[in-house]
């Protein structure tokens, strides 16, 4: 800054102090006079209203009442401005104002040029920029201009810091600054994904966008960004458009200023109601009212070469599909305005550089009235304002809002221009009488009606224009907005609260609760059994639709380093989502988890030895003391109830696991009422330190939602055809003792001997493979009998380790599901069969009755004859059409299961 400029600034400050002293002296007297005058005017106007209420001229009454009420509202605003603006504080804290400034082509640059002179009433402002020059005379004269390096070295010298965040590269430098030097954030755009995507893709700040996607929205956002390949353009565009990626900014800010209630609603929509309950101020977008005199309008038209008699419709701003410019053109061509050569349609803004812009030009050229329609292109601010002043009406449409406030709409209203908008984003919050408000999803006919009405009805046009102008005049005036800024900033910098204490409060308020899902087995070795399928399905449903205000974080137990602890299962989760090779994983490894109060831990996986070790290490007790909810899913109690079906010693570790989780859990979730009853009975005979709450949650039935394995063998078509040619009975389950495969084989051997030409189809792999044969009970005998059976490959099909894709086709090809298991916690194949309306023969177990009710054929007995008789009886019922149908079995999707799970956990 030159010596002369410093002198000018000093002189300005001295004059400003003198003015303040004078205003303080005059303020009390002026305010009292204004209040007295107001009371007199209000009394006078109220008397007029009382007279009008008894008048016999209803039209005159309504018009006068509206005019009086409008004057009263304006007068109230004048009082408010007198009370808050005329007497600014004598002390002005030093404020760092961080924003792009002119000549940068950013709307926030222009906005700052208007805000800074009025904000200087309250603060000694220094501007912090990451640009070479600042082309604003007022700023150059009265505000020291500092670069980023200088600010980083002197940040502690500022009493207040104000960041202006927008969704463009002009704001790239602010993310690191905010993290190091928290301040108040003006969130001009709710979505910050474009600037972050730009910085990551251009290599400016590696991983900044991927980290923001993960931190703000979890794995579903990462999956969208990395769909198909690491640099898939479609995935990048989808993630950029769908996800705001702004949570870190909200958490690091001392407070948030937005320009509309819509931005607060977006925050609640994405992050839950607590995120914007406090520390958010809604301050209208600053806008001055313009000269709306007829003389000014005529002068603007003359300067632009627009005839005085023309009726001009303008759409202001960059042409883009999200602005629905094509919808305006379509409505214009369908309206009567297109037939009047004095009617003009002007698109005042740069044309879209791609196919959208070319198509718009093509349609204009093909309309044969191209002389009435023009795309003006980019204009500087003075020229832009000339077009607004010259227009008769404006049309500002949106099909996609990302939380920004339309400065173009406010420009139009501030120039007394009757404006057509649709109820999209923040425009939906505008007063209904101040615009012609179309529905968000409007029809062409509705837009045509608006255009034609405002063209022909001058009075209606004037009413909307006047109401819009008054709205800007009362709610968006610079002095009023500056006062609101000062109130917000000072509220965020409350001197009674220490900075560290306030940062802790904000972090607690704005942090998302973690839903920690234990997938310890899946993370190490997914055996693809029923339990793993349940855990995968629930996890995928939670990731796809996380509860508002929560982060879904898969975790796993680890003793790495010598002590038991949980780690984030980032690699396993990315692999589950088809992102096993993304380089982001090298940047974000499986770190030890950071637990906080009010988090929720949920273990759907079955990892007994690890859970026992973790409990002995005191992990769960420590979490509960911190206020973390501990939840375990119990699939069954079979090892302690039917130990003969499990390896020797299984009942001991299962009992210890049950004792451990019931001692440390806040809640145990059972997969059926049968399991819940068994748990209550077991707990009565095993004393527990603190009995947990017991809930029940049935499984989902859609295999496709559980990250199903894919692939069909070469002979799949022949096998499916063979299954369909004969009555085929399907058994689904691992080869284990309790599944009653030996009993079933005996029954089918008897059926085959008696001449029944039917098939038995077994889908399941050999169980307990790591154990020696002497500990595997009947498994070796069962496997040997299957592998050496004379009917194998003929009327006996054993499909080992097939994909979930293949299993679904087997369900559809089979005639009946045979659920012969002697013990289950739920019976997942029953509802999977019901989904394909496959009839069911089931052992008469309480849990099968709970799941299938009267919609299955039940049998008793533990020998081959019981199976034989059940099959013969079912075949007879099936032949005459009276076999129970599974179509009426109630089943749910895994998405519905996850919704119920969240209701339980919450």
DSSP of 25-91: HHHHHHHHHHHHHHHHHHHHHHHHHHHHHT-S-HHHHHHHHHHHHHHHHHHHHHHHHHHHHSS--S-
Please give the span between the terminal C-alpha atoms of the chain, in angstroms, as a whole number. Answer: 59
277 — pLDDT class (breaks 50, 70, 90): low
pLDDT at 586: 92
84 — pLDDT class (breaks 50, 70, 90): very low
Residue with more model confidence, 129 or 511: 129
Radius of gyration over alpha carbons of the chain, in Å?
A: 36
Residue 505 has pLDDT above 60, yes or no: no
- Of 483, 659, 535, the closest CA to residue 120 belongs to 483
pLDDT above 90 as % of the chain: 75
pLDDT digits (tens, 9 = 90+) for 93-132: 999 999 999 999 888 998 999 999 999 999 999 999 999 9
232-236's contacts with Cβ under 8 Å and 24+ in sequence apart are: 236/197, 236/201
Read off the DSSP letter of residue 884.
P
Residues paired with 374 in a beta bridge: 346
Residue 140 has pLDDT above 70, yes or no: yes
pLDDT digits (tens, 9 = 90+) for 792-827: 999 999 999 899 999 999 999 999 999 999 999 999
Residue 89 has pLDDT above 60, yes or no: no
Tell me the CA distances in angstroms from 890 to 257, 513, 885, one per residue in order: 49, 33, 12
pLDDT digits (tens, 9 = 90+) for 427-478: 988 999 999 999 999 999 999 999 999 999 999 999 999 999 999 998 899 9
- For the beta carbon of residue 829, count every other beta carbon within 10 angstroms: 25
In the block, which residue shows the tokens 């209000």? 42
Residue 623 has pLDDT above 90, yes or no: yes
pLDDT at 91: 78
Residue 53 has pLDDT above 50, yes or no: no
488 — pLDDT class (breaks 50, 70, 90): very high
Residues in the chain: 906
As a whole number of angstroms, the distance between CA 620 and CA 630 comes to: 7
User: What would the DSSP string read from start to end of 250-314?
Assistant: HHHSSEEEESSHHHHHHHHHHH-GGGGTSSEEE-PPP-PPPP--HHHHHHHHHHHT--TT-EEEE
As a whole number of angstroms, the distance between CA 511 and CA 248 comes to: 9
pLDDT digits (tens, 9 = 90+) for 574-604: 999 999 889 999 999 999 999 999 999 999 9
As a whole number of angstroms, the distance between CA 126 and CA 97 comes to: 6
As a whole number of angstroms, the distance between CA 185 and CA 247 comes to: 12
Q: What pairing do the DSSP bridges indicate for beta strands 565-568 and 311-316? A: unpaired
As a whole number of angstroms, the distance between CA 333 and CA 884 comes to: 63
Helix (H) or strand (E) holding 319: none
User: What would the DSSP string read from start to end of 553-608?
Assistant: EEEEEE-TTSS-EEEE-HHHHHHHTT-TT-THHHHS--PBP---TT-EEEE-S--H
Residue with more model confidence, 377 or 41: 377
220-226's contacts with Cβ under 8 Å and 24+ in sequence apart are: 220/543, 220/544, 220/546, 221/245, 222/574, 222/577, 222/579, 222/582, 222/584, 223/577, 223/578, 223/579, 226/579, 226/582, 226/584
Residue with more model confidence, 8 or 891: 891
Q: Who's near 435: CB < 8 A, 6+ residues apart?
A: 409, 413, 419, 420, 421, 427, 464, 468
Q: What is the pTM of this model?
A: 0.80
Longest Cα pair distance anywhere in the chain, in angstroms? 114
525 — pLDDT class (breaks 50, 70, 90): confident
Report CA 860 to chain centroid distance, whole Å: 51
Q: With 0-12 CB in 10 A as exposed, 13-18 as middle and 19+ as buried, what is 124?
A: middle
Mean per-residue pLDDT, 69-82: 52
**Of 77-91, 365-379, 677-691, where does mean pLDDT reach its minimum?**
77-91
Q: With 0-12 CB in 10 A as exposed, 13-18 as middle and 19+ as buried, what is 261?
A: middle
Mean per-residue pLDDT, 190-198: 96
pLDDT at 279: 74
């Amino acid at each position: 800054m030159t010596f002369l400029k410093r002198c000018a600034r000093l002189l300005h400050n001295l004059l400003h102090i003198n003015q303040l002293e004078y205003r303080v002296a005059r303020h009390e007297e002026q305010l009292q006079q204004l209040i007295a005058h107001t009371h007199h005017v209000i009394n006078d106007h109220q008397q007029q209203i009382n007279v009008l209420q008894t008048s016999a001229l209803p039209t005159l009454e309504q018009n006068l009442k509206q005019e009086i009420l409008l004057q009263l509202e304006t007068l109230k605003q004048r009082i408010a401005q007198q009370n808050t603006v005329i007497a600014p504080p004598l002390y002005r804290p030093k404020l760092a104002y961080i924003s792009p400034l002119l000549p940068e082509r950013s709307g926030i640059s222009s906005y700052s040029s208007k805000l800074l002179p009025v904000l200087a009433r309250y603060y000694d402002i220094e501007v912090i920029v990451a640009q070479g020059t600042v082309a604003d005379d007022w700023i150059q004269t009265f505000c020291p201009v500092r670069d980023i390096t200088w600010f980083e070295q002197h940040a502690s010298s500022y009493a207040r810091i104000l960041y202006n965040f927008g969704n463009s590269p002009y704001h790239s430098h602010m993310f690191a600054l905010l993290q190091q030097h928290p301040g108040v954030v003006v969130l001009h755009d709710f979505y910050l994904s474009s600037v972050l995507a730009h910085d990551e893709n251009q290599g400016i700040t590696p991983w900044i966008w991927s980290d923001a996607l993960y931190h703000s929205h979890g794995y579903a956002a990462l999956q969208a960004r990395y769909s198909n390949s690491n640099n898939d353009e479609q995935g990048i565009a989808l993630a950029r458009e769908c996800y705001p990626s702004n949570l870190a900014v909200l958490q690091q800010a001392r407070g948030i200023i937005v320009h509309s209630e819509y931005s607060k609603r977006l925050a609640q929509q994405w992050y839950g109601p607590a995120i914007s309950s406090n520390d958010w101020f809604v301050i209208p977008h600053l806008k001055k009212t313009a000269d709306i005199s007829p003389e000014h309008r005529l002068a603007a038209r003359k300067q632009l070469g627009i005839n005085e008699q023309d009726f001009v419709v303008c759409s202001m701003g960059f042409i883009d599909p999200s602005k629905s410019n094509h919808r305006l053109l379509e409505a214009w061509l369908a309206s009567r305005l297109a037939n009047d050569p004095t009617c003009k349609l002007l698109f005042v803004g740069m044309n879209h550089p791609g196919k959208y812009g070319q198509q718009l030009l093509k349609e204009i050229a093909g309309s044969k009235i191209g002389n009435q329609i023009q795309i003006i292109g980019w204009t500087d601010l003075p020229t832009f304002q000339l077009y607004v002043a010259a227009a008769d009406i404006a049309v500002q449409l949106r099909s996609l809002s990302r939380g920004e406030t339309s400065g173009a709409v406010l420009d139009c209203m501030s120039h007394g221009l009757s404006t057509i908008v649709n109820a999209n984003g923040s425009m939906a919050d505008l007063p209904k009488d101040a615009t012609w408000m179309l529905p968000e999803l409007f029809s062409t006919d509705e837009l045509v009606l608006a255009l034609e009405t405002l063209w022909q009805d001058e009075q209606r046009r004037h009413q909307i224009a006047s109401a819009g102008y008054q709205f800007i005049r009362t709610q968006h005036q610079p002095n009023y907005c500056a006062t609101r800024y000062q109130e917000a900033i000072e509220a965020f910098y409350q001197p009674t609260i220490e900075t560290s204490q306030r940062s802790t409060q904000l972090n607690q308020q704005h942090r998302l609760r973690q839903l920690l899902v234990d997938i310890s087995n899946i993370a190490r070795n997914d055996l693809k059994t029923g339990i793993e399928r349940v855990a995968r399905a629930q996890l995928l449903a939670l990731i796809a639709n996380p509860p508002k205000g929560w982060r879904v974080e898969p975790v796993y137990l680890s003793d790495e380093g010598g002590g038991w602890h949980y780690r984030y299962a980032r690699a396993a989760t990315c692999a589950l989502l088809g992102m096993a090779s993304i380089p982001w994983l090298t940047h974000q490894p499986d770190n030890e988890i950071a637990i906080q109060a009010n988090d929720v831990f949920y273990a759907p996986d079955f990892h007994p030895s690890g859970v026992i070790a973790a409990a002995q290490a005191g992990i769960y007790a420590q979490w509960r003391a911190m206020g973390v909810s501990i939840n375990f899913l119990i699939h069954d109690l079979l090892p302690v109830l039917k130990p003969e079906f499990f390896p020797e010693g299984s009942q001991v570790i299962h009992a210890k696991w049950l004792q451990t989780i019931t001692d440390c859990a806040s809640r145990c979730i059972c997969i059926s009422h049968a399991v819940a009853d068994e748990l209550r009975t077991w707990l009565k005979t095993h004393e527990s330190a603190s009995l947990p709450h017991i809930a029940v949650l049935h499984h989902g039935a859609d295999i496709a939602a559980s990250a199903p394995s894919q692939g069909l063998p070469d002979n799949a078509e022949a096998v499916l055809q063979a299954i369909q040619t004969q009555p085929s009975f399907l058994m689904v389950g691992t080869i284990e003792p309790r599944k009653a495969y030996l009993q079933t084989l005996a029954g089918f051997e008897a059926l085959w001997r008696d001449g029944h030409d039917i098939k038995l189809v077994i889908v399941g792999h050999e169980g307990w493979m790591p154990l020696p044969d002497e500990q595997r009970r009947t498994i070796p005998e069962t496997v040997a009998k299957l592998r050496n059976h004379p009917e194998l490959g003929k009327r006996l099909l054993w499909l080992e380790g097939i994909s979930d894709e293949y299993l679904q086709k087997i369900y559809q090809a089979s005639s009946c599901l045979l659920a012969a298991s002697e013990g289950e916690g739920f019976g997942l194949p029953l509802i999977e069969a019901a989904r394909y309306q496959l009839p069911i023969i089931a052992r008469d177990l309480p849990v099968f009755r709970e799941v299938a009710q009267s919609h299955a054929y039940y049998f008793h007995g533990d020998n081959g004859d019981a199976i034989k008789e059940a099959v013969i009886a079912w075949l007879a019922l099936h032949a005459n059409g009276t076999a129970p149908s599974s179509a009426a079995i109630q089943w749910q999707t895994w998405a519905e299961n996850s919704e119920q799970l969240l209701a339980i956990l919450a």
